[in-house]
């Protein structure tokens, strides 16, 4: 049976300010969703919250994956249950090679989530939790990884097996193997970073993957490369959620469902035709339909779009 990610009346605070104000969404393996909306509508907040970023606090509602609430879990435990987030701005980690990193990550993902051993160093620790959040639920930052000991390298996936998987995915995405020898996102161009996110997604083969603006900052050719890359990974085992404010990438990756977010709420839902309507008329008509005012942040974006 297809696994489901159910987001139930989700409210999320960032630094004491409510950003998500009651979102409901259901995503199943095998489906492709697009979440569209202007800047500041809460799209990125939603994906970061689902992945368990410790800065985002769920004040009410729930996130249920495969029948279990994951709101209190650390990001690594969510990842090992099969969630993935392709970042809008992937972090560079100098000195860590892509292939080493991916091998460690895949080892962890394969291990899956296990019952935590009760050891002090495995306890979930809440890092920077401010005092005001008393009754809220927040992602933990601890977790319980595969605890790979450098001296016991055999715990890692065997190099030959890993290389085979990696080469397969590189071929699928038509990527050069030179990527994997470089340091993680270090000195990568915008387009290279986004492609590397897709490669990570391919290798880790998550059950539900969020892609946070995989098209931002890319030219038309690069959008095509990323869009068709994700399209190649599509399958019955993977649910895909593309977050974007442009319609272009959706020409390479047809969504089954389109959700429009504005000011922390999903205001409109529909099929692929909704993306086309937005391409035609922008977001103004939806705003009018719901009597929403343009926020300062949205206005900034409109100006930027006009410049383009």
Partner 1 sequence: MSTDAVSTGRAASYRLGEEHLSLEAVESLSARKGEPLWLLEKRRQGWELFERLPTPNWTRGIRNWWSSNMNEVDFDRLKPYADAVSTGGAASYSQLTQYQLAEQHPTGEGENSGDLSSGKLIQHNSEVVQVELSEEAKTAGVWFGSLDQAVIEKPELVQQYFMTRAVLVGEDRITALHAALWSGGLFLYVPKGVVLSAPFQAFFYADEPGLASFSHTLVVLGKNSSVKLIEEHRSPDSPVHSFDGGVVEILVGEGAKAEYYNPQEWGNGYFNYSVKRAVIGRDGFQRWVVATLGSSSSWVNVESVLEGQGAQAETTGLSFSTGEQHFDVKTKSLHAAPHTSANTLFKAVLDDASLTGFQGGIRVLPAGQQTDSFLEDHTLFLSDASKADALPSLDVDANDVRCSHGATIGMIDAEQIFYLQSRGLDRSEAEKMIVAGFFEDVIQRVPLESVRERLRDSIDAKQGGDGSLRVSGGESLMFNLNEID
Residue 295 lies near partner 1 (rule: CB under 8 A)? no
Q: Is 42 left (phi over 0), alpha (psi -120 to 50) or beta?
A: left
Structure tokens at 127: 């890092």
Among 9, 15, 60, 127, binds partner 1 (CB under 8 A): 127
Q: Does 143 bind partner 1 (CB under 8 A)?
A: yes
CB within 8 Å of 297: residues ≥ 6 apart: 38, 39, 40
- From candidates 6, 96, 155, 292, binder to partner 1 by CB under 8 A: 96
90 touches partner 1 by CB under 8 A: yes
195 binds partner 1 (CB under 8 A): no
Distance CA 85, CA 245 (A): 17
Q: What is the dihedral of CA 111, 115, 119, 121, to 10 degrees?
A: 50
Instruction: Kindly report the number of other CB atoms within 10 A of residue 282's CB atom.
Output: 14
User: Under rule CB under 8 A, how many of the chain's residues touch partner 1?
Assistant: 52
Beta carbon nearer to partner 1, 109 or 274: 109
Going through 66-220 in order, the beta strands assigned E by DSSP cover 68-69, 83-86, 93-97, 137-138, 183-184, 208-212
Q: How far is the CB of 131 from partner 1 (least distance, A)?
A: 6
**Measured from the CB atom, is 74 or 247 closer to partner 1?**
74
Q: Which residues contact 53 (CB under 8 A, 6 or more apart)?
A: 75, 139
Binding to partner 1 in span 146-165, by CB under 8 A: 146-151, 153, 159
Binding partner 1 (rule: CB under 8 A), the pick from 126, 167, 174, 189 is 126
Tell me which DSSP letter residue 105 carries. H
Stretch that binds partner 1, among 7-15, 102-110, 220-228, 286-294 (CB under 8 A): 102-110
128 lines the binding site for partner 1 (CB under 8 A): yes
Cα–Cα dist 249/243, whole Å: 10
Neighbours of 79 (CB within 10 A): 22
Instruction: Choose the stretch contacting partner 1; rule: CB under 8 A; options: 84-92, 168-176, 228-236, 243-251.
Output: 84-92
Of 52, 61, 214, 239, which one interacts with partner 1 (CB under 8 A)?
52
What residue ranges bind partner 1 (CB under 8 A)?
A: 51-54, 74-76, 78-80, 84-85, 87, 90-91, 93-96, 101, 104-106, 108-109, 120-123, 125-129, 131, 141-151, 153, 159, 183-184, 200, 204
């Amino acid at each position: 049976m297809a696994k489901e990610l159910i987001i139930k009346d989700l409210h999320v605070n960032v630094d004491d300010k409510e950003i998500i104000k009651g979102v409901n969404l259901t995503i199943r393996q095998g489906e492709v969703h697009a979440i569209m909306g202007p800047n500041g509508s809460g799209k990125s907040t939603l994906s970061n919250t689902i992945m368990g970023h410790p800065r985002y606090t769920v004040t009410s509602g729930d996130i249920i994956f495969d029948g279990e609430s994951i709101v209190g879990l650390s990001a690594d435990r969510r990842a090992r249950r099969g969630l993935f987030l392709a970042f809008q701005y992937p972090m560079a980690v100098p000195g860590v090679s892509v292939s080493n990193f991916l091998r460690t990550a895949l080892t962890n993902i394969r291990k899956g989530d296990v019952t935590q051993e009760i050891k002090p160093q495995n306890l979930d620790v809440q890092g920077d939790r401010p005092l005001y959040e008393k009754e809220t639920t927040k992602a933990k930052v601890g977790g319980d990884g595969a605890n790979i000991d450098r001296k016991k390298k055999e715990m890692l996936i065997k190099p030959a097996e890993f290389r085979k998987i990696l080469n397969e995915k590189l071929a699928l995405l038509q990527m050069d193997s030179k990527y994997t020898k470089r340091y993680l996102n270090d000195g990568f161009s915008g387009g290279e970073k986004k492609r590397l996110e897709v490669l990570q997604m391919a290798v880790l083969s998550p059950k539900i993957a969020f892609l946070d603006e995989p098209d931002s900052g890319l030219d038309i050719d690069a959008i095509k490369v990323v869009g068709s890359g994700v399209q190649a990974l599509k399958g019955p085992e993977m649910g895909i959620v593309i977050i974007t404010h442009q319609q272009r990438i959706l020409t390479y990756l047809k969504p089954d469902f389109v959700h429009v977010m504005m000011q922390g709420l999903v205001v409109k839902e529909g099929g692929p035709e909704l993306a086309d309507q937005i391409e035609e008329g922008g977001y103004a008509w939806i705003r009018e339909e719901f009597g929403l005012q343009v926020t300062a942040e949205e206005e900034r974006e409109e100006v930027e779009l006009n410049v383009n």
